């Protein structure tokens, strides 16, 4: 089926869904899980260093059995091409028998080691799992602008890398984490509103209809915000699903506050910025014709916090970022649940106030509420950043996958 015909078909499906008539999903992209059933978790390649979180932990925590997909973060985007992000973590690091998923030590001469081989072993143990290689992210999105100038060449480079014979069996597709097309993230992009759509279209043309092609996107639902800056709906015919990053709305990147939950489900009285909530982001995407079944609910497995705060209620002033284990102003759920338990809830998520530090983060209880909301909205499932933030027995993913 041609891309033009595909896009006309999906446009017709979206229009019919808007009228309230449910149709079968388009056959142009692979659909490995039923609508509403997807549970997608990011695995951060750098977790094997200071965090000491390895692919084996996905198995021993019970998370592998609850996941449908793992997004491996990140591949780099540089010189307009897909590139390896960290060769040591990706495919060189040797694992001992104790560290390995299958209990067998790597040898010096085996063709593939590192995370990629561990993911292969994990898939062998959990055959239902699909693994998608994510490219870009906050730090490596600057290369997408150059890639957008020659989408076909970019797609060719990505296909060659993802389908490299050394690890072609590990990956089931590609995820694009462009932060943000035609807008500003770590750097600003001026490639135009069609660049994202054209890039995704080129990937679909090169990877074909059976590969998974997904995208993590902005969740800025404000008027004239980042969702409005690019034609995300135009890319939907070539995408299996979109993942609006409905977290990091607020945080100590504004050091003086006001304190506000970084991942509110809904707006609330006093929210610092209208349009900065999960509900607003999903509503904005739907209004542009993105089917609910191709949108996933985003959850953070971490909190964001401020220090020098004098009130427990949201909206207080602060003096800077709260201390964090790996980065100021950020801490894993597995730590915060013990060091600063929830004080209350606002906007469908929790917050806590301890010794002048103010944190917001999701708990099993607030995740259950978000999941009910996602089901009511007809969303295609959920995704989260990232696996190492959960407890050793997978409290958060259990709430998300139950």
The predicted structure's pLDDT at residue 286: 98
Per-residue pLDDT tens listing for the chain (402 residues): 434 334 434 343 333 333 332 333 333 343 334 457 999 999 999 999 999 999 999 999 999 999 999 999 999 999 999 999 999 999 999 999 999 999 999 999 999 999 999 999 999 999 999 999 999 999 999 999 999 999 999 999 999 999 999 999 999 999 999 999 999 999 999 999 999 999 999 999 999 999 999 999 999 999 999 999 999 999 999 999 999 999 999 999 999 999 999 999 999 999 999 999 999 999 999 999 999 999 999 999 999 999 999 999 999 999 999 999 999 999 999 999 999 999 999 999 999 999 999 999 999 999 999 999 999 999 999 999 999 999 999 999 999 986
The predicted structure's pLDDT at residue 35: 53
d(CA 230, CA 197): 8
The predicted structure's pLDDT at residue 6: 40
Count Cβ neighbours within 10 Å for each residue of 96-129 and write b for 16 or more, e otherwise.
eeebbbbeeebeeeeebbbbbbbbbbbbeebeeb
Which tokens is 378 given? 């007809």
Are the C-beta atoms of 289 and 348 separated by less than 8 Å?
A: no
Of 31, 121, 179, 395, the catalytic one is: 179
How does DSSP classify residue 327? B
Which tokens is 111 given? 């063709």
User: Alpha-carbon torsion 318, 323, 328, 333, what sign?
Assistant: negative
What are the Cα distances from residue 339, in Å, to 354, 357, 397? 8, 11, 20
What are the Cα distances from residue 31, in Å, to 28, 84, 160, 294? 9, 27, 23, 10
What are the Cα distances from residue 380, in Å, to 105, 290, 294? 38, 12, 6
Which tokens is 310 given? 């004098």
The predicted structure's pLDDT at residue 135: 98
The predicted structure's pLDDT at residue 22: 33
Considering only CA atoms, which of 268, 259, 361 is closest in space to residue 316?
Answer: 259
The predicted structure's pLDDT at residue 401: 83
179 a catalytic residue: yes
Helix (H, G, I), strand (E, B) or coil at 13: helix
Domain 32-301+364-401 sits in CATH at: 3.20.20.80
Whether the full predicted model's pTM is greater than 0.85, yes or no, is: yes
The predicted structure's pLDDT at residue 369: 97
Rounded to a whole number of angstroms, the distance between the first and last alpha carbons of the chain is 37
Are the C-beta atoms of 85 and 74 separated by less than 8 Å?
A: yes
DSSP annotation string for 159-206: HHHHT-TTTTTT-SEEEEE-S-TTSBSSSB--S-TTHHHHHHHHHHHH
Are the C-beta atoms of 397 and 367 separated by less than 8 Å?
A: no
Which tokens is 329 given? 């102003």
User: Alpha-carbon torsion 317, 180, 115, 242, what sign?
Assistant: positive
């Amino acid at each position: 089926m041609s891309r033009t015909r595909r896009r006309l078909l999906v446009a017709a499906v979206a229009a019919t869904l808007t009228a309230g008539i449910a149709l079968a999903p388009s056959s142009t992209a692979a659909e490995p899980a039923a609508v509403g059933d997807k549970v997608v978790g990011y695995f951060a390649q750098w977790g094997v260093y200071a965090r000491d979180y390895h692919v084996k932990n996905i198995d021993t925590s019970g998370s592998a059995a609850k996941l449908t997909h793992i997004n491996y973060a990140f591949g780099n985007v540089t010189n307009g091409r897909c590139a390896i992000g960290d060769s040591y973590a990706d495919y060189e690091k040797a694992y001992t028998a104790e560290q390995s998923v299958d209990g067998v030590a790597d040898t010096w001469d085996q063709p593939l080691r590192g995370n990629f081989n561990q993911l292969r072993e994990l898939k062998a143990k959990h055959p239902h799992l699909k693994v998608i290689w994510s490219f870009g992210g906050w730090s490596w999105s600057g290369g997408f602008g150059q890639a957008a100038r020659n989408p076909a060449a970019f797609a060719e480079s990505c296909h060659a890398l993802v389908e490299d014979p050394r690890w072609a069996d590990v990956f089931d597709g590609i995820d694009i984490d462009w932060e943000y097309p035609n807008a500003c993230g770590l750097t600003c992009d001026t490639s135009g509103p069609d660049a994202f759509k054209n890039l995704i279209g080129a990937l679909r043309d090169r990877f074909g209809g059976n590969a998974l092609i997904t995208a993590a996107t902005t969740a800025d639902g404000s008027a004239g915000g980042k969702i409005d800056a690019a034609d995300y709906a135009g890319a939907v015919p070539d995408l299996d699903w979109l993942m609006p990053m409905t977290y990091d709305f607020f945080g100590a990147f504004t050091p003086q506050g006001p304190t506000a939950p970084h991942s509110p489900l809904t707006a609330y009285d006093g929210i610092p910025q209208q349009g900065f909530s999960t509900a607003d982001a999903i509503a904005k995407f739907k209004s542009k014709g993105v089917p609910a079944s191709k949108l996933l609910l985003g959850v953070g497995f971490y909190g964001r916090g401020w220090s020098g705060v004098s009130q427990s209620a949201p909206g207080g002033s602060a003096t800077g970022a709260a201390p964090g284990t790996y980065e100021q102003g950020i801490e894993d759920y597995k730590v915060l649940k013990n060091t600063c338990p929830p004080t209350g809830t606002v906007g469908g998520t929790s917050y806590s106030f301890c010794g002048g530090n103010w944190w917001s983060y999701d708990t099993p209880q607030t995740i259950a509420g978000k999941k009910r909301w996602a089901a009511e909205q007809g969303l295609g499932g959920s995704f989260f950043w990232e696996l190492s933030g959960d407890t050793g027995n997978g409290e958060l993913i259990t709430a998300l996958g139950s």
